[in-house]
Amino acid sequence: MCNITSSLVELQAKADWVRRETLLIHKKAPETRIASSLSCVEIFTVLFYGGIIRCRPDDPSWEDRDRLIISKGHGSVCFYPILADLGYFTRSELDRVCMPGSFLGGIPDPIIPGFETVNGSLGHGLGVGCGVALGLKAKHKKNKVFVLMGDGELYEGAVWEAIMFAGEHSLGNLTLIIDDNKICLLDFCEKIINLNPLDNKFSAFRWKVASVDGHDISRLCQVLEERKNDSGDMPNVIIANTIKGKGVPRLEGDPLNHIKTLSPEEIDQLIQKMS
Amino acid sequence: MITQSSITMRDAFIQSVYTRMATDDRIFFLCADFGSPKLDDLRRDYKDRFINVGIAEQNLINVSTGLALEGFTVYAYAIASFITMRAYEQIRVNLSLLGQLKPLNINLVGVGAGVSYDVSGPSHHCLEDLAIMRLLPNMEVFSPADWCMSEVLADYSAREAKPKYFRLDGKPLPPIYDTIPNIDVGQGFAVLVQPSDICLIGTGYMTHQALKIANRLAAIGKQVGVIDVFRLKPFNASTFVQSISCCQRIVTLEEGFIGNGGLDCVVSGALAEQGLKPEMIRIGFKDKFCFQIGNREQLHELAGMGEGAILKAILVSKA
C-alpha cells in the first residue's frame, strides 16, 4: 500500500523534483499546460508523499483506496512523474508524453492508471465526486474522496449544483481542494467575475472551509491531515492559495500564462537554477 | 406483471425497479424533481436510496456517474427534453466517454417523448433526443411503445451494466405487447403485422398510429405491415432489413425531427447498408418547433402528420 509519510524536508525536495520533472515533460511535449500544472505541484506532492492518499500502484482499482477525482485535467500533468515514481507505470513513459502510442496525453484520461475519470471538460469532477462519496457512504466504507479543482471551474453552474448537494447530503467523506491560482485562460479571474469572498460562499452551503498557502508544504500537510481524520459530516473545502506558473518567473503573474509555452533552452536554464 | 390495461410507461418501469430494490440494495434511484404515482411508493420505502437532486439535471448525471463508479445500478429520472439536452455534455463525458473504459450501469429515464407534453409547448416537446442520444458511442437508446415493453426494458436495464437512455411517453397508452410472449430485447424491433409490399415502421407513440393506419388501410382492402422499433441503438440492421426485404415502400413514423438522425435515418441507413432501395416516406416533424397550442392529435395535424395526411402520403405515393 502506498501511504508514504516523509519529513517536511523530504517533501519539499520531492516537490522540487516534481516541478523539474513537469518542466522536462513540457520540454518534450509543449502541448501540455505548464502554468496550470505548476500551481498544484505541492498539493499533489503532499497528497501522495505526505501520507494522505491511500493507494496501491500495483492495483489502481483497489477497493479500499482513497478516491482522487482530478477535475482540472489539463493542469495535472505534474501528476505524471508522481504516478511513475510510485510505480503506476514505468518512468520511461514520461519521455513519450503526447507522442503517438503513448497513453499520457496533453490532458489526462482514465486510460492512465491512477486517473479515475474523464477530466478534460471542466466542472464535472465535484458532482462525480459527490456520487462517489455517496456510494462509499452507502457501502459503509471509510475511504475518503478528494477532488482537485481549479478556481476557474467555479464559473461552471454544475459545480454549484454539486456544492449545494454535498452540503445538503452531509458528505463528510468528501474534501474539495481548490487550486486557487486566480488566472483563467484569458485573464485574471477577478477581472472576469470576481469569486471572492469564496470561503463565505462555501460556509453558506454548509461546508467546512480552510484557506491555506498552496505552496507551503507544512501547512498543506497539516490541513490535509486534519481533513483526512475529520469524521464529521460536513464536506470540506481547502482553498489553496497558489501561483499559476509557480517557479517560472516569466509565467508568474502573467494573465495569459495558461496558453504560454516555454522553450527547451528556457527549461534547461530553469532546471539548472532549480538544481 | 402489472395487470392494468392502460398505465403509464413510467409507472410500469418504476414499479419494476421498485420490486427489484427489495432484493438488490445496490440500486439507487435519483430524480431531478420529477415524480410519478409509483415513485411515491419508491421514495417512501427506500428513503436511503432515493435522492431528489433538485432541478439540477447536470448534477443528476454527475452524481449518478459517481455512484455507478462505486458499483451501483443507477436510475436517473427526469423530463426527457431536460435530461437529454440540459445535461448532454455531462452525458457525453461521464457516460459515453467514461462508459467506454468502465462498466457503468446508468439508466437515463426520460419522460415526455415527442409531443406527449402537448400543451406545455416546445420547451417540453422532445423531438431531438433519439438523434442526439444515438450519436453517442457506448450508449443504448430505447423507445418503447407501451407499458409492457417499458416493464421488459426495466428488467433489461438492471441486467446490463451499460449507459442507456429510455424515452418514455408522458401519457398512458393502450398495451400492444400484452399478448406478445418472449419479447427479444436484443432484436430491438418487433413485427406486429407481417409486411407486404408496404411496411409502416414506428417507434413509441407513432407505433400506435401505424397500427391505426394499417387498420384503416386493411378496411379498404390494402394490407400493410407494421414494425415497432423499440431499440434504436444498437440497431440490428441486417436482421431488420431481412424482415422488410419484400417491401417496395417503407413509411417511417416518429415524433421527432425527420432527416436528422432519428428513426428514419436508422432505417434508411440500414437499408443503404444492405443495398436495398425501396421508396421511403418519412413521417415526423419537419425542422420547425411547434408553438401552437393543441392536443397531440392537433399538433400532429399542424405538423402535417395527422392520420389523414399519412394515409394520403401512402396512397398517392408514386410507387
Using an 8 Å CB-CB cutoff, list chain A residues near B89: 121
Q: What is the dihedral of CA A222, A224, A225, A231, to 10 degrees?
A: 130
Query: How many whole angstroms separate alpha carbon A222 and alpha carbon A212?
Result: 10
Q: Return the residue matching grid coordinates 462509499.
A: A136
Smallest Cα–Cα separation from A56: which of A128, A18, A148, A48?
A48
Smallest Cα–Cα separation from B237: which of B192, B280, B189?
B189
Using an 8 Å CB-CB cutoff, list chain B residues near A136: 70
Sheet of strand B279-285: strand arrangement: B189-193, B225-229, B198-202, B249-257, B279-285
Q: At A152, phi and psi to the nearest 5?
A: -60, -25
Confidence at residue A226, expressed as pLDDT on a 0 to 100 scale: 95
Q: At B281, phi and psi to the nearest 5?
A: -115, 125
Identity of the residue in B59, B70, B97 whose CB atom sits nearest the CB atom of A132: B70
**Mean of all residue pLDDT scores within chain A:** 96
Using an 8 Å CB-CB cutoff, list chain B residues near A126: 62
A130 touches chain B (CB under 8 A): yes
Identity of the residue in B69, B72, B90 whose CB atom sits nearest the CB atom of A124: B90
User: Contact, A131 vs B64, CB < 8 A?
Assistant: yes
What is the residue-level pLDDT of chain B in tens, covering all 319 positions? 444 567 999 999 999 999 999 999 999 999 999 999 999 999 999 999 999 999 999 999 999 999 999 999 999 999 999 999 999 999 999 999 999 999 999 999 999 999 999 999 999 999 999 999 999 999 999 999 999 999 999 999 999 999 999 999 999 999 999 998 889 999 999 999 999 999 999 999 999 999 999 999 999 999 999 999 999 999 999 999 999 999 999 999 999 999 999 999 999 999 999 999 999 999 999 999 999 999 999 999 999 999 999 999 999 865 4
Tell me which of A70, A118, A121 to substitute to probe the interface with B (most B C-beta atoms closer than 10 Å).
A118
Confidence at residue B6, expressed as pLDDT on a 0 to 100 scale: 72
Q: Which helix (H) or strand (E) holds A148?
A: strand A145-150
Confidence at residue B278, expressed as pLDDT on a 0 to 100 scale: 96
pLDDT along chain A (275 residues), means of 10: 78 98 97 97 98 97 98 96 98 97 96 95 97 98 97 98 98 98 96 96 98 98 95 97 97 94 97 91
Residues of B with CB under 8 A from a CB of A: 28, 48-49, 51, 53-54, 56, 58-59, 61-72, 89-90, 93-94, 97-98, 101-102
How far is the alpha carbon of A257 from chain B, nearest alpha carbon, in Å? Answer: 27
Confidence at residue A275, expressed as pLDDT on a 0 to 100 scale: 82
Note the pLDDT tens digit of each residue in B78-89: 999 999 999 999
User: Contact, B146 vs B177, CB < 8 A?
Assistant: yes
Domains in chain A with CATH codes: 8-274 (3.40.50.970)
A162 touches chain B (CB under 8 A): yes
Confidence at residue A38, expressed as pLDDT on a 0 to 100 scale: 98
Using an 8 Å CB-CB cutoff, list chain A residues near B32: none
Q: Which helix (H) or strand (E) holds B194?
A: none
Residues facing residue B73 across a β-bridge: B27
Tell me which of B58, B59, B83 to substitute to probe the interface with A (most A C-beta atoms closer than 10 Å).
B59
How far is the alpha carbon of B83 from chain A, nearest alpha carbon, in Å? Answer: 14
Contact check, Cβ <8 Å, A127/B97: no
How far is the alpha carbon of A192 from chain B, nearest alpha carbon, in Å? Answer: 23
How far is the alpha carbon of A152 from chain B, nearest alpha carbon, in Å? Answer: 18
Q: C-alpha cell of B191?
A: 413485427
- Span(s) in chain B for CATH 3.40.50.920: 186-315
Using an 8 Å CB-CB cutoff, list chain B residues near A121: 89, 93
Q: Which helix (H) or strand (E) holds B301?
A: helix B296-302
Query: How many whole angstroms separate alpha carbon A83 and alpha carbon B63?
Result: 27
Contact check, Cβ <8 Å, B48/A164: no
- Calculate what percentage of chain A has a pLDDT beyond 90: 97
Q: At B54, phi and psi to the nearest 5?
A: 90, -175
Q: C-alpha cell of B46?
A: 427506500
Helix axes A8-28, A264-274, angle to 10 degrees: 170
Q: A121 to chain B: nearest residue by CA?
A: B93
How far is the alpha carbon of A12 from chain B, nearest alpha carbon, in Å? Answer: 33
Confidence at residue B95, expressed as pLDDT on a 0 to 100 scale: 98
Using an 8 Å CB-CB cutoff, list chain A residues near B101: 109-111
Note the pLDDT tens digit of each residue in A29-86: 999 999 999 999 999 999 999 999 999 999 999 999 999 999 999 999 999 999 999 9
Note the pLDDT tens digit of each residue in A3-26: 677 799 999 999 999 999 999 999
Tell me which of B31, B58, B82 to substitute to probe the interface with A (most A C-beta atoms closer than 10 Å).
B58
Question: Which fold is adopted by the domain B186-315?
Answer: Rossmann fold (3.40.50)
Residue B184 Ramachandran class (φ > 0 left, ψ -120 to 50 alpha, else beta): beta
Q: Return the residue matching grid coordinates 415513485.
A: B39
What 8-state DSSP symbol labels residue B283? E
Query: How many whole angstroms separate alpha carbon B147 and alpha carbon B143?
Result: 11
A129 touches chain B (CB under 8 A): yes
What 8-state DSSP symbol labels residue B191? E
A42-76 as b/e: b if 16+ CB within 10 A: bbbbbbbbbbbbbbbbeebeeeebbbbbbbbbbbb
User: Contact, B145 vs B173, CB < 8 A?
Assistant: yes
Confidence (pTM):
0.96
Identity of the residue in B53, B56, B69 whose CB atom sits nearest the CB atom of A132: B69
DSSP per residue, A25-66: HHHH-TTS-HHHHHTTHHHHHHHHHBT---B-TT-TT-TTSP
What 8-state DSSP symbol labels residue B55? S
Q: What number is the ipTM of this complex?
A: 0.97
Q: What Rg, from alpha-carbon coordinates, does chain B have? A: 19
Contact check, Cβ <8 Å, B69/A133: no
Helix axes A217-229, A41-49, angle to 10 degrees: 50
DSSP per residue, A82-108: HHHHHTSS-GGGGGGTTSTT-S--SS-
Query: How many whole angstroms separate alpha carbon B122 and alpha carbon B124?
Result: 5
CATH assignment of B9-168, among 3.40.50.970, 3.30.390.50, 1.10.3430.10, 3.40.50.2000: 3.40.50.970
Confidence at residue B1, expressed as pLDDT on a 0 to 100 scale: 42
A143 touches chain B (CB under 8 A): no
Query: How many whole angstroms separate alpha carbon A181 and alpha carbon A43?
Result: 12
| Exposed / middle / buried, residue B305 (Cβ in 10 Å: 0-12, 13-18, 19+) | buried
Q: C-alpha cell of B67?
A: 455512484
- Span(s) in chain B for CATH 3.40.50.970: 9-168
